[in-house]
Amino acid sequence: MSSSNRFKFDFLASKPKAIQRSVSNHLVYTIGKDPFTATDHDWMMAFCHVVRDRLIERWMETQRSYYRNDAKRVYYLSMEFLIGRSLTNSLLNMDIHDACSSALHRLGIELERLRNLEHDAALGNGGLGRLAACFLDSMATLDLPGIGYGIRFEYGMFRQRIENGQQVEHPENWLAHGNPWEFPRPEVAYKVRFGGRVLEYQGPNGRRQFDWIEGDLVLAQAYDTPIPGYKNDTVNNLRLWSAKAHQAFDLSCFNMGEYSSAVEEKTLSENISKVLYPDDSSSQNRELRLKQQYFFVCASLKDILRRFFSDHNDIHELPERVAIQLNDTHPAIAIPELMRVLIDKYHLEWQLAWEITTKIFSYTNHTLLPEALESWPVELLGRLLPRHLQLIYEINRRFLLMVANLHPGDTERQRRLSVIDEQDGRRVRMAHLAIIGSHKVNGVSALHSGLLKSSTFHDFDEFYPNKIINITNGITPRRWLYQANRPLSALICEAIGDAWVRDLNQLEALIPLADDSSFQERFAAAKLVNKQRLAELVKFHLGQQIDPHTLFDVQVKRIHEYKRQLLNLMRVIAHYNRLLDAPDAEVVPRTYIFGGKAAPGYFMAKLIIRLINDVADVIDNDQAVNKRLKVLFIPNYDVTTAADIIPAAELSQQISTAGMEASGTGNMKLALNGSLTMGTLDGANVEIRDQVGAENIFIFGLTTDQVKQRCQQGYHPRYHFESEPLLRRVVEMIGNGFFSPEEPERYKPLVESLLDRDHFMVMADFQAYLECSDRADAIYRQPEIWNQMAILNTAQMGYFSSDRTIQEYAQQIWQIAPIQR
């Protein structure tokens, strides 16, 4: 096609007047309301349609350019995409924010009010799902042909309410009022099979062939969500699959009068995409979970092959056109699935099929916690996916032969490396499958990748040198600074221009301003505006008073023992005791802010939430201290609350037991927003220290090596209890019901865990943590120094842009390049 023939859009007008007209039109013709009866929600939906019109045309043009360029695409397969709201993101990325704001104003509507009516797309638990969302943003911003594939959960992450101090989970029916950002594609639907049996037959050339037949079929239907890049007219695609019954009603049942069993079957198959599993860092061995995994993997691979064959005909070229990234092992069943398609459908020889498969796949490991490493019982996998189990056995057989060749007689090594765990019932280790079937495996921080190579996957690293690499996580500066923190963004733009939004290293131009007292003052003023805004939100939503002139000391993330919210809370109690003992003591007035969800079945995590709220109550009711000390638990931590809290934070608590947090990304969001990190040498904290300078971060506690040493030598938490009076007093208060007088035994499980096991070394790090906290206080009393440190944090966080992360994936793993248009 010659370029003059090419269908080109004149992008829809983005002048306020034209936008105003479009909003009015959509209100009437799309929503079916007139301005007199329209609710705020109607206006919001009408307005979103105006925005999405402008996305659609850029989106279609982008997709055409990928076809024109015969672009190699990367497919990001992830069970979770934690996107949050899309409205502001779209407005700012398409550069129509101000025009829209004034268009709405002319209609008598404030953009801010509409913004708050949008539901979060909360199709993820925490860090892993949010990483996927940041990656989509960066791929679009870098003009990379990246496509996300996942599940369109009808119910996303549960909504957390705090009732009587305890977490209560409420279903999140985010689609109930319609989702303006999605496009249903009823014509894009694939059959997904479960169960059945494997038929063996003689192929035309006398070869043994296999066919997977019978069983139950479910339809996977596509829904597309446009993903705009930052001011580059690129709009990529996120394709999510929804389960539909294959045949709405089985007519034979119907005729026999079994209407309800026909309906039942339909509901059963549609259950697959009903709800997200709300477990972070632990694996659920539920049949439905495995079904979800295969469901979206199978549909995605069919879609990838359809797209490939729409303009290619030689399957051998597949690895030149397709790269597939597995976000953790959740989609790792894709490896035997592609083998099945290549061998059973395209009749390739094993060796060739395996070469193609391993060239296409790569795998990101997100955790070393043993409880999070997925393994499926052989029985379950064989029952749902009989052909895949055969293929997994064959992959494993060939792999172990190679291992045996290299290490003859070393059966212990074979046992360690095997895909099949023979220990407690036979199980398929998905991480082993993912490593063997990928050409690259990456960890998510320097420390984590090092540990992968030296411990968890040491044998694999020996067997496949250079396969395991590091690519440190990042966050998108668009959402986490440019959008979330308008006051600071404006200040930065005024000082150094706006190039940093797409090239975060440019923030280094702020370094010389760190000791400029007028810049310091304006930096602090922006922080104060954010703190005041958060205080207003807290007042409005929770009816609680927080003082913007106190130090905002923040720990927001999933509640998990390894993240040690309990350690933070014990510090709070120690500070409280200080004030009890010396009521006139000069202390830095503080607001401790906690936020985070616990997995519904995680007893200890829920107990920690309850203790936070009990401690908050006791302190609130203590007139002697409550002007200088405040504890607040902000419920329902999600992307939207994160964007409200993070810009207002001054201290960022990143205090996981060393060696347990793979990377963390909350740490990056906070430091980028000028919050000083108080943390252990864990995950990406190590690299944050390297970037911002050891003098601009508060590091304390055992290192990974010291934690390991203590474990080996035999760790005795009671020793700390006996020898550290401050610690002893805190633990006793928790244990004797000081914070739960109506039920003194309430926190016995926490105290027993601390004294008897303390797997997370809370007791060992307590003293160092208190001392570190005092160091921070001393500096907070010197605002010039504190502000200087905060500025130097923002200025030196450029490395943690997910743009840098994605460029590394593109070069080192995917071998893809930006598409110039």
Ligand X SMILES: *Cc1c(COP(=O)(O)O)cnc(C)c1O
Count CA within 13 A, CB hemisphere, residue 129.
26
Q: Is 416 annotated in the active site?
A: no
CA–CA dist 436, 445 (Å, integer): 21
Torsion of the alpha carbons at 407, 413, 418 and 423, rounded to the nearest 10 = 150
| Closest CA relative to residue 417, chosen from 776, 360, 407, 425 | 407
Candidates 54, 453, 558, 597; catalytic one: 558
Q: Does 805 bind ligand X (CB under 6 A)?
A: no
Q: Which is nearer to ligand X, 120 or 421 (CB)?
A: 120
CB of 492 to ligand X, least distance (A): 21
Shorter beta-carbon distance to ligand X: residue 84 or 145: 84
**643, two tokens:** 């964007």
The single residue of 73, 330, 432, 557 carrying the catalytic annotation is 557
Q: Is 73 in the site for ligand X (CB under 6 A)?
A: no
Count the residues of the shown chain that bind ligand X, applying the rule CB under 6 A. Answer: 13
Residue 635 in the binding site for ligand X (CB under 6 A)? no
Q: Is residue 260 exposed (0-12), middle (13-18) or buried (19+ Cβ within 10 Å)?
A: exposed
CA distance 76 to 22: 34
Give the binding range for ligand X (CB under 6 A) out of 252-260, 637-645, 702-710, 771-779.
637-645
Active-site annotation holder among 85, 563, 564, 571: 563
Indicate whether 156 belongs to the interface with ligand X (CB under 6 A).
no
41 is catalytic: no
65: Cβ contacts below 8 Å, ≥ 6 apart: 71, 819, 821
- Specify the 3-state DSSP secondary structure of 532: helix
Considering only 666, 679, 735, 798, the residue that binds ligand X (CB under 6 A) is: 666
Stretch binding ligand X (CB under 6 A), from 234-242, 308-316, 321-329, 660-668: 660-668
Question: Do 305 and 88 form a contact (C-beta atoms < 8 A)?
Answer: no
398: its two tokens: 């060939």
Residues 542-561 close enough to bind ligand X by CB under 6 A: 557-558
Could you say whether residue 126 binds ligand X (CB under 6 A)?
yes
Task: Choose, by CB under 6 A, the member of 664, 674, 679, 735 that binds ligand X.
Answer: 664
For ligand X, give the closer residue by CB, 276 or 338.
Answer: 276
Name which of 358 and 636 has its Cβ closer to ligand X.
636
In the complex, minimum distance from the CB of residue 685 to ligand X, in angstroms, rounded to a whole number: 10
Give yes or no: 781 in active site: no
- The rounded distance, in Å, linking the Cα atoms of 609 and 167 is 7
Asked if residue 448 binds ligand X (CB under 6 A), the reply is: no
- To ligand X, the closest distance from the beta carbon of 477 in angstroms equals 14
Query: Which residue sits closest to ligand X, CB atoms considered?
Result: 666
Task: Tell me, yes or no, if 366 is annotated catalytic.
Answer: yes
Of 669, 689, 720, 746, the active-site residue reads 669
Asked if residue 571 binds ligand X (CB under 6 A), the reply is no
Angle at 246 between CA 241 and CA 248, to 5 degrees: 115
Contacts of 240 (CB under 8 A, 6+ apart): 81, 123, 149, 150, 151, 152, 182, 222, 223, 224, 225
Q: Helices (H) and strands (E) in the chain — how many of each?
A: 33, 24
Among 26, 49, 72, 130, binds ligand X (CB under 6 A): 130
Q: 644 with 634: CB under 8 angstroms?
A: no
Main-chain phi, psi angles of 687, to 5 degrees: -75, -30
Residue 647 interacting with ligand X (CB under 6 A): no
Among 598, 639, 651, 734, binds ligand X (CB under 6 A): 639
User: What is the rounded CA–CA span in Å between residue 678 and residue 108?
Assistant: 45
CA distance 101 to 15: 11
Taking the complex as a whole, the smallest distance from the CB of residue 656 to ligand X amounts, in Å, to 9
Taking the least distance from each CB to ligand X, the nearer of 126 and 386 is 126
Among 66, 90, 127, 523, binds ligand X (CB under 6 A): 127
Q: What is the DSSP letter of 753?
A: I
Q: Is 557 designated active site?
A: yes
- Smallest distance, ligand X to C-beta of residue 326, A: 20
The residue from 358, 476, 665, 680 that is catalytic is 665
Q: Provide, rounded to whole angstroms, the least separation between the CB of residue 563 and ligand X.
A: 7
- Using CB under 6 A as the binding rule, whether residue 85 contacts ligand X is answered as no
C-alpha to C-alpha distance for 558 and 555, rounded to whole angstroms: 10
- Max distance between CA atoms of the chain, in angstroms, equals 91
Nearer to ligand X, 613 or 665 (CB): 665
By beta-carbon proximity to ligand X, the closer residue of 280 and 374 is: 280
Q: Residue 231 catalytic?
A: no
DSSP 3-state assignment of 747? coil
Between 155 and 241, CB nearer to ligand X: 155
- Quick one: the chain helix, strand, coil %, rounded to 5? 50, 15, 30
The least CB distance from residue 530 to ligand X, in Å, is 16
Residues with catalytic function = 366, 557-558, 563, 665, 669
Binding residues for ligand X, per CB under 6 A?
Answer: 126-127, 130, 557-558, 637-639, 642, 664-666, 669
